[in-house]
Amino acid sequence: MPSSPSQLRTAKACTLEDFSSDCDISSIIEHTQKCLVLELEDDAIRECGAAALAIIASKPDDVLRLAHRKLHTWPFRDVPICWRRLYEDASLWKVIASLRMQTCRRNPKNHAIDTVSRKRKRRGDQENPEGHSSSPAVEGPSMTDDGMSWPTFMAGDWVADIVKVLDMAIILTGAPSRKHLFNKLFDNLRSSLLHEVSKSDTLKEFPPNRLCRPKVRLPMQNYKALSSEMDFTAFQEHLDASATPLILEGAISHWPACSAWKNPAYLMQHTLGGRRLVPVELGRSYTDEDWGQKIMTFAEFMHDYLITPTPKQTGYLAQHDLLAQIPGLLKDIQTPDYCFTAPPPATPEILHGQPTPPHLEEPLVNTWLGPGGTISPLHTDPYHNILCQVVGHKYVRLYAPSETPKLYPRGVDEAGVSMENTSQVDVSIAMELAGRSAAVGDDSEISHENARNDFEERFPLFKDARYIEAVLAPGDSLYIPLGWWHYVESLSTSCSVSFWWN
């Protein structure tokens, strides 16, 4: 039986070496529990009150529900940290209880954990039961067009259930004190899945999904990166002199990610067979009314939005720190040297009404994975950005801060949130309206003409705004200076990694 927190005792912090490399469930249970019963110094969790702590080990589900309720009592930034701590620890106790149940069910002769068998599922088979709030059901796709069945998480897939609990805890709390325990558990679960055979292993590449590549009429400056033309020193000099956008060709072509991440099976393996939960943006563009976000398994995102030739809508795994969530992928990338230069400081005009962000000790890294046709509407960021193109192609268009009056920035919305860093202009629509040739005597041409007139009326100065554009190829990087407006559209299945720094 687990020792209760009433037996909390202070001891030296357990180290990672205490944990054996054996992937036996019992070891990870013991290790996790040992860490949980240790009293952390100044642990805010005590402010949750003795009643919750008294049953956190024996009744983690009830405590999780209390913590979940408290996490939603205030706007997220006002939530006292004690509730994040309670949710975090209750999740780990719940996982311990699940793992214990698996220990009891194990074949005593065979220490290996039962592998989850993959079977072909017929349409309409029962999905993984939902026990937890805001965790979506993993849809049970049956066959893709080429007759392969995708991993579906069967009822009884205890690994998927545990991953869901862990990932929801990370999403809701940011794992303030137990990140090492979460990572250790994911690693342990990963070793237990090594024997898992999945049909998805045969899918070595994303299907070709290429949209028309637009002509680049107004190219930006383009350099072969890392040559003497634009090495670290030259880049610093460029920042000191003009700090304008640059394409750095081949800047990241040495990244293992450029070949490894083209392979869906590789990504599925690193996300525990696609069981890890990720936030996906659904809809054409975040400025549209019907845009939303949904948390789903990586497998669901992969199947329903990346691989399928006919997705129900656009799904974009956007602006997500995937590398923090999946540290195993960190070895595939390398922070560009350019991020360690000293860029010019931000001025209030360039920040477009946004507050000055704090100095970043380390670059903020985000991953952007999606099908062809994803759109990031015209906006600015309060950081300098090196956008690295890993897989596929992206079209980018940049406008200088001086063009801001011609770009019709939004104002402050009803909730008091400043949207001044986002343009009212839908660049993809502008491109479409500008692109059509003037044919005569056609109904659609008349409505096209009306649309063009409406656009002209709303945004008369837009056509005079000067821009530069480029198509990023795998291995390229793009320097986007702070305050420069940028519009990004993927031309194929695409994966990018952005580095924000100041």
Binding positions for another protein, rule: CB under 8 A = 49-52, 54-55, 58-59, 62, 65-66, 68-74, 130, 133-134, 414
Using the minimum distance from each CB to another protein, give the nearer residue, 87 or 338.
Answer: 87
Q: How far is the CB of 62 from another protein (least distance, A)?
A: 5
Using the minimum distance from each CB to another protein, give the nearer residue, 31 or 94.
Answer: 94
Q: How far is the CB of 58 from another protein (least distance, A)?
A: 7
DSSP conformation class of 306: I
Using the minimum distance from each CB to another protein, give the nearer residue, 85 or 121.
Answer: 85
Using the minimum distance from each CB to another protein, give the nearer residue, 77 or 359.
Answer: 77
DSSP conformation class of 307: I
Q: How far is the CB of 171 from another protein (least distance, A)?
A: 11
Q: How far is the CB of 410 from another protein (least distance, A)?
A: 19
Between CA 283 and CA 278, with CA 322 as vertex, the angle to 5 degrees is 45
Name the amino acid, one letter, at 2.
Answer: P
Angle between helices 179-192 and 158-173 (to 10 degrees): 160
Helix (H) / strand (E) containing 50: helix 50-54
Using the minimum distance from each CB to another protein, give the nearer residue, 211 or 419.
Answer: 419
Q: Distance between CA atoms of 344 and 388, rounded to whole angstroms? A: 21
Give 191-232 as a 3 state SS string.
HHCCCCCCHHHHCCCCCCCCCCCCCCCCECCEEEECCCCECH
135: left (phi > 0), else alpha (psi -120 to 50), else beta? beta
Using the minimum distance from each CB to another protein, give the nearer residue, 41 or 414.
Answer: 414
Using the minimum distance from each CB to another protein, give the nearer residue, 72 or 120.
Answer: 72
Q: How far is the CB of 59 from another protein (least distance, A)?
A: 5
Q: How far is the CB of 82 from another protein (least distance, A)?
A: 12
Largest CA distance in the chain: 84
Using the minimum distance from each CB to another protein, give the nearer residue, 68 or 262.
Answer: 68
Using the minimum distance from each CB to another protein, give the nearer residue, 57 or 365.
Answer: 57
**Residue 484 CA: distances (Å) to CA of 20, 39, 231:** 50, 48, 22
Using the minimum distance from each CB to another protein, give the nearer residue, 52 or 329.
Answer: 52
Using the minimum distance from each CB to another protein, give the nearer residue, 279 or 357.
Answer: 279
What length does the chain have?
502
How buried is residue 161: exposed, middle or buried, by Cβ count under 10 Å (0-12/13-18/19+)?
buried
Q: Distance between CA atoms of 261 and 267, rounded to whole angstroms? A: 6
**116 neighbors 193 (Cβ within 8 angstroms):** yes
**371 neighbors 315 (Cβ within 8 angstroms):** yes
Q: Distance between CA atoms of 185 and 27, rounded to whole angstroms? A: 11
**Residue 416 CA: distances (Å) to CA of 95, 354, 381, 382, 413:** 40, 13, 19, 19, 5
Q: Distance between CA atoms of 95 and 103, rounded to whole angstroms? A: 12
DSSP conformation class of 461: T
430: left (phi > 0), else alpha (psi -120 to 50), else beta? alpha
Q: How far is the CB of 34 from another protein (least distance, A)?
A: 25
DSSP conformation class of 406: G
How many angstroms from the chain centroid is the CA of residue 462? 32
Q: How far is the CB of 173 from another protein (least distance, A)?
A: 13
Q: Distance between CA atoms of 466 and 484, rounded to whole angstroms? A: 12
Using the minimum distance from each CB to another protein, give the nearer residue, 212 or 415.
Answer: 415
**285 neighbors 375 (Cβ within 8 angstroms):** yes
Q: How far is the CB of 49 from another protein (least distance, A)?
A: 3
Q: How far is the CB of 174 from another protein (least distance, A)?
A: 16
Terminal Cα distance for the chain, rounded:
51
Q: How far is the CB of 88 from another protein (least distance, A)?
A: 16
Q: How far is the CB of 50 from another protein (least distance, A)?
A: 7
Q: How far is the CB of 130 from another protein (least distance, A)?
A: 8
Beta strands in 329-461 (DSSP E): 364-370, 375-379, 384-391, 394-399
Using the minimum distance from each CB to another protein, give the nearer residue, 44 or 55.
Answer: 55
